[in-house]
Every structure is written in C-alpha cells, then in structure tokens.
Amino acid sequence: MFDTLLRHCNLPDGRTDIDIGITGGRIAAVAPHLPGPAGEEIDAGGQLVSPPFVDAHFHMDSTLSYGLPRVNQSGTLLEGIALWGELKPLLVQEAIVERALAYCDWAVAKGLLAIRSHVDVCDPRLLATEALLHVRERVKPYLDLQLVAFPQDGVLRAPGALDNLRRALDMGVDVVGGIPHFERTMADGAASVRLLCEEAASRGLRVDMHCDESDDPLSRHIETLASESVRLGLQGRVTGSHLTSMHSMDNYYVSKLLPLMREAGVAAIANPLINITLQGRHDTYPKRRGMTRVPELLAAGIPVAFGHDCVMDPWYGLGSGDMLEVAHMGLHVAQMTGQDGIRACFQAVTATPAAILGLDGYGLEPGCRADLVLLQAADPVEAIRLRATRLLVMRAGKVIARTAPATATLSLPERPGEVDFRLHRKKV
Ligand SMILES: [Zn+2]
C-alpha cells in the first residue's frame, strides 16, 4: 500500500492519465491505474505533475534589497554593480538571512525547490557567505540551496579577493565562481579563468562563472573556460553563465566555439529576464537582444538552463520567484515559439538545471525523491502560456504549499459563468 497516490496525472514527457505511488518520501511506482487504497489519494484531474522547478542562477545575498540605499536610475549592469558596492558596507547578517528566507518562501509557493545562488565573496568580512551558509542549513528540509563563491569585483582586480574566495570555499561554499570580463584586461580575464579552474580541480568542485556578460563580440572567455575544462579534466562540471557576448560574435567564430564547448562538456545558463534588460544599453537602433544563442547551443548538444538571476535587487526591480515567467521570456527572446521549442524551455527550468546542479534523486522515476508540483495546466506548453497556478507543491511526499486555482467569473447577462482559458476546439 502506498502512503500517497496521485491519480490521473499528465507528465512533462507527454504521458497522460498516469498514477504516481509514493512510499517513504520516494516515488515507488509510475503507471496507469495503480492499485489502491493508499494512505491518501489526490486526484490530479488530468493536470500536469512535474518535478519541481530549479533555478540554476540566482543572487540570494542581494535579493529583496530593491531601493536600498537607492534605486538604480540608469537600469544598467554597471550602475547595479556600483549600487551593490554602496550597499555592501551597510549590510547586516540578520537582514540578509531574513530577506533570503522570505525569498525561499516565495520560491516554495511557486514550486521552486532548488536554487544555485552566487554569493559575493569580495567583502573581507564574508558576511553574506556566513548568512547564506546559515540559510542553506535552515531551508534544507524543503529547498536545496547550492552556493557559488562569486568574486563580484574580479578575483584579480579586487585586492584580497582570491584569499576571501578560498576562505569561503573552506567554510563550505559548494561551487567556484568568477567574472573574467570584469577583470581589467582580456589577459587578466583569461588568467582568472585558469586560476579559478585550477582551484576547483584541486578541491574537486564544480565551476560556474559569470562569463562574457557584455555586448562585446570579442569577449571570448568562454573559449578559455572550455579549454581549461579539457586541460583539467573538469568535463561535465563546468558552466558558463550569461554568455551574452555570443549574441554579438562573428558567426564563423561561433561555428568553431560550439563544438569546443560540446567536447569540453561545458553547460550554458541564459538569464532571459536580466539579459534582455541589461544588454544592448550602448546600442541606439537596431538594439541587440543580448541573450546568448540558445537554439544554436541546444542544436549543438550543449545543455542550456534558464536562470532568474535577480529578483528585486540593485539590477532588477521585478520578479516573484516564478520560473515559468523566466521560461516565458526565454522562449520569446530566443524565438522558440514552436511546440518543441516551448517544451525545451520548460526543460530549461526543470530537468536541465537539475543536471547542472548535480541534484540527487531528481525526477519522476521510481526511486526519485517525491518532490512534485501539480500545475493548473494540461501540459508544459499550457503551463508556460498561463504561468499556471501551482495547486500543490510536495517535498519528499509531504504537501508543503497549496494555492487556490485561478478562476474568473463573468456576470455578463449574455455569457454568464466561469471563464476557461484552455483551448476547446470543436469545429474548424
Ligand atoms: Zn548573475
């Protein structure tokens, strides 16, 4: 007998009317018409049951700090970095913890149960690092928080940054970060990539760098990142975040770069909401989109995830932890509006980032941890279109969040009743 039985589920892979049996916090069986009774039965009613959303790129040390100490007037990346520099000396640990926990509440309500967050390690007090290590433990029962040691001001450019980064890793930060395009020269940027990859290799850690986050077609640190991955045997453990310069690169160069990334086992993370907002700021018209080449990366066999990057911080004043909003923007910017493209964008906020983070027991196979989201939608395409309500969120077989279904009732005399936003086509 199962502890819990979810009846009549549609799955992201297209299977319909499937039952999911859960025992001891893990998925025990996935098949049509599983035998009951169970401790509890939940009728999914032909709606989508997905593994939880995963955000592969976030900044939890700055989230929900919008307006502190002032608002970003130009809306640019560089004013955002300067503003963060003004805020850093004013930060206190309890406030960072409080804001991070509040964001995790939003995340859980939206079915987002795993987040890779960069944490700025340039402050010698390592205040934010300590705060987020504390938050990582606090949320562990319900959310996987993976931390990246991120030298925001440049590991070579900022005095003491390498030492601080090493201290943060000693304290238990999970992943090595970097920002080569923010170093003073291309040569320094390449040197920083080598240095940081060696640090990761010697510690057996993964790498995730902010890489080429600019519109400069000659910003090519991704090439160094890929070749260092091969040299140090880090294949499958290295990620390039943003890669926005690829949008502006020469096509011939990209035709060489993509196979190199594929051979090096380097994954890519685009951050559609932020890339479309921050890039192209030096352009008049035509104005570049500034997101990396998502369909081309996917076609070359390179895993691509979408990250939220920022929610209400010095760089971005919007957002609510909704990865369907991220996928929705991503498919528009990348022009991935075909059915396969939209499904790939759903993957980019679920299974692909789970693989990039190396999450254990993620998925809907028997044996996986019973982490699930029931959405008010029939399939992944409808989920993105409607930014569907998360009716129920489950962690290890226990319901941890519920949201009432979104409905609207018309009081038009000619057409009274509930509005149904699904497409019911009866005639051509
Ligand atoms: Zn970032």
Q: Report the percent of the chain where pLDDT is more than 90.
A: 93
Residue 208 alpha carbon to ligand 1 centre in Å: 10
CATH topology of domain 53-357: TIM Barrel (3.20.20)
Q: Report the percent of the chain where pLDDT is more than 70.
A: 100
Q: What pLDDT was estimated at residue 88?
A: 86
The band of 312, judged by pLDDT with boundaries at 50, 70 and 90, is very high
Rounded to 5 degrees, φ, ψ at 211 are -130, 125
- CA 193 to CA 180: how far, in whole Å? 6
What DSSP character marks residue 316? B
Record the pTM. 0.97
Spot the catalytic one: 199, 213, 223, 382. Answer: 213
Q: Is a pLDDT exceeding 80 seen at residue 342?
A: yes
Residue 209 alpha carbon to ligand 1 centre in Å: 9
Residue with tokens 């790498």: 207
Q: Is a pLDDT exceeding 80 seen at residue 424?
A: no
pLDDT tens-digit series, residues 250-288: 999 999 999 999 999 999 999 999 999 999 999 999 999
Residue 7 alpha carbon to ligand 1 centre in Å: 39
Q: Is a pLDDT exceeding 90 seen at residue 75?
A: no
Q: Is a pLDDT exceeding 90 seen at residue 81?
A: no
Question: What is the CB neighbour count within 10 angstroms for residue 27?
Answer: 24
pLDDT tens-digit series, residues 21-56: 999 999 999 999 999 899 999 999 999 999 999 999
Q: Are strands 4-10 and 40-50 parallel, antiparallel or unpaired?
A: parallel
Residues 6+ apart with CB under 8 A from 233: 201
**What is the architecture, at CATH level 2, of domain 2-51+363-409?**
Roll (2.30)
Amino acid (1-letter code) at residue 226: A
The band of 422, judged by pLDDT with boundaries at 50, 70 and 90, is confident
Q: What pLDDT was estimated at residue 55?
A: 98
- CA 60 to CA 135: how far, in whole Å? 10
Residue 119 alpha carbon to ligand 1 centre in Å: 10
Q: What pLDDT was estimated at residue 169?
A: 98
Q: Is a pLDDT exceeding 90 seen at residue 130?
A: yes
Residue 398 alpha carbon to ligand 1 centre in Å: 32
Average pLDDT over residues 371-396: 98
Q: Is a pLDDT exceeding 80 seen at residue 214?
A: yes
Please name which of 133, 157, 156 lies closest in space to residue 145, comparing C-alpha atoms. Answer: 133
Catalytic residue list contains 213: yes
Residue 309 alpha carbon to ligand 1 centre in Å: 5
Average pLDDT over residues 172-185: 98
More confident residue, 77 or 162: 162
Q: What pLDDT was estimated at residue 52?
A: 98
H/E run at residue 49: strand 40-50
The band of 69, judged by pLDDT with boundaries at 50, 70 and 90, is confident
Mean residue pLDDT of the chain comes to 96
Residues of the chain with CATH 2.30.40.10: 2-51+363-409
In this structure, of 82-91, 158-167, 305-314, the range with the lowest mean pLDDT score is 82-91
pLDDT tens-digit series, residues 217-245: 999 999 999 999 999 999 999 999 999 99
Tokens of 50: 């997905």
What DSSP character marks residue 134? H
Average pLDDT over residues 126-135: 97
Residues of the chain with CATH 3.20.20.140: 53-357
Q: What pLDDT was estimated at residue 426?
A: 73
Residue 145 alpha carbon to ligand 1 centre in Å: 15
Q: What pLDDT was estimated at residue 89?
A: 87
Q: Is a pLDDT exceeding 80 seen at residue 428?
A: no
Q: What pLDDT was estimated at residue 420?
A: 87
Residues 102 and 142 sit within 8 Å (Cβ to Cβ): no
